[in-house]
Amino acid sequence: MLDTARRIATPEGIELTLRLAGPVPRALAWGIDLLIRGVILGFIAYTAAALKQSGMAIILLSAFLIEWLYPAWFEATRGATPGKRAIGLIVLNDDGTPVRWPAAMTRNLLRAADFLPTMYLAGFVAMVMNRDFKRLGDLAANTLVVYREQKLVPLAIPKAEPRAPGFALSITEQRAILDFAARSPGLTPERAEELAEIPQTLTKGTAPGKAAARLIGIANYLMGRT
Amino acid sequence: MKQAAFEQHYAADWHSFEQWLDSNDKQVGKKKSVPTVTLADREIPRAYRHVCQLLAIARERQYSPDLIDRLNRLALRGHHLLYGARGGRAVPLLEFLSAGFPRLVRAERRLVAAAVVLFAGPLLVLIAVLSATPDFIHYFVDPAGLARFQEMYDPGNPRLGMRQADDNLMMFAFYIWNNVKIGFQTFATGVLLGIGSVYFLIFNGAQIGAVAGYFSGANFTEPFWSFVSGHSAMELTAIMLSGAAGLKMGTSLIAPGRRSRKAALMEAARPAVRMMYGAALMFVIAAFIEGFWSPLTLFPAATKYTVGIIMWILVIGYFLFAGRRNAA
């Protein structure tokens, strides 16, 4: 159902599902990081200004360190820069393991190439040209930027008499019904009815106006409620 | 087995695993009160495999998505924590400097040679051309930049290569900020089929060569060359190695051999980045020399030339001979 899901096989013989982050959330994260870096550097510049020329030396050295080591340090030790963390992203190796220094350094050194010719155009072109949204640095370092797993919020499905669907449903079909049931309280009854009539094999033969209730009943069954 | 029965039977297993995860995950641990851990660390691999197995079963039997998501999340967190400790052996700095770095450079001798030609070629040609016809400098440097250079290398300047108001420490920081950036750029743009590295090598070689040729004429000769001789070995070698590291990535894409281009790039990036660590260190040493030794007018030019030549011998000797013993 989700085309940005990436499955990784583990040595335990199972597949874990990661959700890849596209250009927009990553650009937002970058923007937040830029702001944080600007504030840090501004603060250093403000305090170091009193030292005249040595102050200038401190500013230049911090500018260098912040530009090149800020992202690599955070990614190698925390998995994500503060900007990525705020957006809910994390950098992982291709096999789903956390990144370490070599990969973090590689992907961040190659920012210089991704940035070209301006504003990460090369990185953007690279991202949309492969299915994992990898910019050049990610390709060289073999890393992925994915969404951090959120705390699961249980689907709030209205209670109803559970009802078996009558035949086996695939996992995607089950998901669609559960999502529908969870969203149904926010829909107008007419729209809910309209949507519920689409899976005809499930809602065929229901009294007019009862299709949505039928699907919610099936959702209750799928939730394991009795 | 029905899902309800499955959950009832195994819930305790994954709850204890989740508790262990919560108590070991830095992020969660800080916020919440740490729950009492019932599992010992040594039982974790088994518990993790058990959760993986439950996930596989839940998927196979098509239990509810809710349950599968929950197990997937648990397995994922376990995977992060258990495999997080894995990593390459950290090479001690001393070993890298005494053997690893020069060996790496020797292993890539063909790319290093290419980078030397691309950089030193234009450099030497332009030194020859511009010392004969200094007016060509206007093709390379704008008037404001030229005036700055002329102030820097004014024979009456008590500290070479700097303007009156500049401070040694500040210049040191400036050289790091500026030169390492140039090095990183030369390296990183190599990933674009090597084109960026080739461009930056030629461009910087031409730029430096033009300025050097221009100042070789007239009465600037001595201040200019006695300024640059000390740090030239470190700085120019570092630029060339950055270029070679970039070419390493570029050539892996052009001629990947029997691998996919992606795999070839990944494989090439590792030694290339290691070479870049060495080059960055050389830039820092060069910046130190350039900031504190090169501007001195305390010593006669002959002394500074000698130091420059010794530095070149040391750098070349280092890359030729260091780490030869015990080479595998």
Q: B287 CA to chain A: closest CA distance, Å? A: 12
Q: Is A68 on the interface with B (CB under 8 A)?
A: yes
Residues B143, B40: one domain?
Answer: no
Q: Is residue A194 in a domain?
A: yes
What percentage of chain B exceeds 70 in pLDDT?
Answer: 91
Residue B312 placed within a domain:
yes
Q: What is the model's pLDDT at position B218?
A: 67
Q: Which domain holds residue A49?
A: 5-147
Helix (H, G, I), strand (E, B) or coil at B175: helix
A42 and A96 share a domain? yes
Query: Do B68 and A171 lie within an 8 Å CB cutoff?
Result: yes
The span from the CA of A160 to the CA of A206, in Å, is 16
Spans in chain B with pLDDT lower than 50: 28-30, 328
Asked, for residue B213, whether it belongs to a domain, the answer is yes
Which stretches of chain A drop beneath a pLDDT of 50?
Answer: 1-2
pLDDT of residue A183: 87
Closest CA to A127 of A118, A140, A136, A119: A136
Minimal CA separation from A54 to chain B, in Å? 6
pLDDT of residue A1: 42
**Cα B96 from chain centroid?**
14
Whether residue B220 is found in the same domain as residue B265: yes
Number of domains making up chain A: 2
Do B35 and B170 sit in the same domain of this protein? Answer: no
Q: What is the pLDDT of residue B93?
A: 84
Comparing CB atoms, the residue among B52, B169, B196 nearest residue A57 is B169
pLDDT at residue number B90: 66
Partner-chain residue, chosen from B75, B86, B167, that has the shortest CB–CB distance to A54 = B167
Contact in structure between B291 and B172 (CB atoms under 8 Å) = yes
Same domain, A51 and A88: yes
Amino acid at B283: F
Domain boundary among B33, B50, B84: B84
Find the domain containing B45 and state its range. 3-84
Pair B68, B145 in one domain: no
Do residue B100 and residue B237 come from a single domain?
A: yes
Q: Report CB contact under 8 Å: B69, A152.
A: yes
Give the total number of structural domains in chain B.
2
Q: From CA A25, how far away is CA A104, in angstroms rounded? A: 19
B230 and B200 assigned to the same domain = yes
Tell me how far CA of residue A8 lies from CA of A5, A14, A69, B219, in angstroms. Answer: 10, 8, 29, 67
Tell me the pLDDT tens digit for each residue of A184-198.
888 998 999 888 888
Across-strand partners of A113?
none
State percent of chain A over pLDDT 70: 95
Q: What is the pLDDT of residue B197?
A: 96
CA distance B281 to A166: 70
Integer Cα distance of A103 and A147 in angstroms: 18
Q: Chain A: nearest CA to B300, how far in angstroms? A: 28
A88 touches chain B (CB under 8 A): no
- Examine residue B166 and state whether it is found in any structural domain, yes or no: yes
Which pLDDT score is estimated for B28?
46
What is the pLDDT, as a whole number, of residue A74?
94
Q: Which of B176, B196, B266 sits opposite A140 (nearest CB)?
A: B266
The DSSP code for A97 is: P
pLDDT at res. B318: 96
Q: Where are the beta strands (DSSP E) in chain A?
A: 5-9, 15-19, 89-93, 143-147
Residue carrying structure tokens 């449903």: A169
For residue A138, tell me if it sits in a domain: yes
